[in-house]
Structure 1
Amino acid sequence: MPMLDGKVAIVTGAGGGIGREIALAMALAGAKVVVNDIGASLTGLGETSATPGEQTKAIIEQRGGAAVVNTDSVSDWDSARRIVASAIDAFGRVDIVVNNAGILRDQIFHKMTPEEWRAVIDVHLNGSFYVSRAAAEHFRAQSSGAYVHMTSTSGLIGNFGQANYSAAKLGIVALSKSIALDMQRFGVRSNCIAPFAWSRMTSSIPAETPEQQARVEKLKRMTPEKNAPLAVFLASDQAKDISGQVFAARNNEIFLMTQSRPARSAHRSEGWTPELIAEHAMPALRSGFMPLDRSGEVFSWDPV
């Protein structure tokens, strides 16, 4: 029996890239799929179109699957509720939510505008909350459900020029953990994937210097479909005991990412003054400081 037989999945941002590959993989695994995509540009600006979503739907149907297209935006509460309603209207239930929709407005921090900040937060973080919250009512009523959220090593580790994106993606990790804690008693699970792939979301990475060009060539080898098997597994009943975790998928590698825990401590029974902190606490803690590195410096080896 297919791993997602009888399930209904919502995949946001499924008109291309990672979202499309996840939608296709879930359909092949037996799920009926709501293909959500507004069909906008990478920045979220300009004209919208149903064409990307319709293309994904057509591929699913050509392979014998079932899908409907939804073009509502995740970044609005009422619109997000319509996304979930489209699953109920078309297929009678919802079992899986994949929060994948995203935009980029990269800008160095001291030049980032409030509009650039809000636009990215609205789609990634607020959108993940809105769609998840709308589905939660159904998950609770049926005592089952699975969330798969797309985070990023830009948030987990760091990157240049992405304060808005990084903050949103790390916020999604906290959102996922909170969902996992709050909805565990209803049989609902919530996990994150930090995907590695060359797609529209990464095509804006600079490739001007030889080092940058080499990095881009490495990324191009990591195609979007490499992330889909992990998403299918986490959405399936075979992952029924996995919740609140953060994974990364990098070509043929799967990583379990650490989450924040105390690394070192310093204690003084009489308490601390600023001077004593400088003299004793910081020297004791310094060896545990995290470096100011970026995702590419932590994942420095070639993908296998």
Structure 2
Amino acid sequence: MNAVTPPERMRALLAEPGFVAMPAVWDGLTAKLTHAAGFKTAFLSGSCVAASRLGGPDLDLISFAEMLNSLEMVRGAAPDLLVLADGDHGYGNPMNVQRTVRAYGRAGAAAVLIEDKITPRALTADGKPCMPRNEVRMKIRAAVEAAKDSGILVMARTDCRPTAGIEEAVARIEMYVEEGADILFLDSPKDEEEVRRAVAASQGRPHFAVLSPGAQRETPTQKRAAELGLKIGTFPTGMLSPAISSIKAGLAAIAAGESEAKNSLSPKELRESLGYGDYDEQARRFVVQR
């Protein structure tokens, strides 16, 4: 009997009642710790990968190959974790989108995000100009077609709310549903009413939201997000921000002549978290007896 695939497991999870909290991961360690903490699924975040790989913000500088490699790291460290992987703008035209979707599917992603912003973006960190609606339709159509190879779910995102308004954003979500997207995502809703409109436009399909605080968007709590009809919430700064804080604390401690920061794990807990014991247990099978 064939094993249940990651996309099939993701579909089953999204069909269950309740809100799905999806931590944002960027490498093997964050994926492993997320799974160990009891989470069934995670979002491979482009912004977190950019922070990790480039030491900078998410301004469309990460490439297809770098994101695919990050997905492979995440899958290798936590093979049972269901991964919704950021496919950004698909890294080009609709044919590039198909290559991205097929590659993510082969790598074991459960779902892939494709968005409508223009690339390369203008040389500024402000705003996200988006492609014309009919061009976006072709990208999502290409993604849905390519997804048939592996069964990977397609999450279609629109970033047009700040630049083109809520009416255009809702129209795009409706278009994504027409094209067969499995999960929908309105970025940067202004208020709860816009969240409700986006959920309604999704016509019963799961709607995704970014719930990390600090940006210019409606950011409900998990409880309120569920009440508004949202199904999935991710938290791009949820682990990234405390990780940066702890790294800074460790550097400050060393600069002050100390050996480690006060919030450091004990050596025993660190080794357990990294899986030294698991390695030794597996390796015993291959030790040559002399």
Give your verdict on TM over 0.5: no
TM-score by length of 1: 0.36
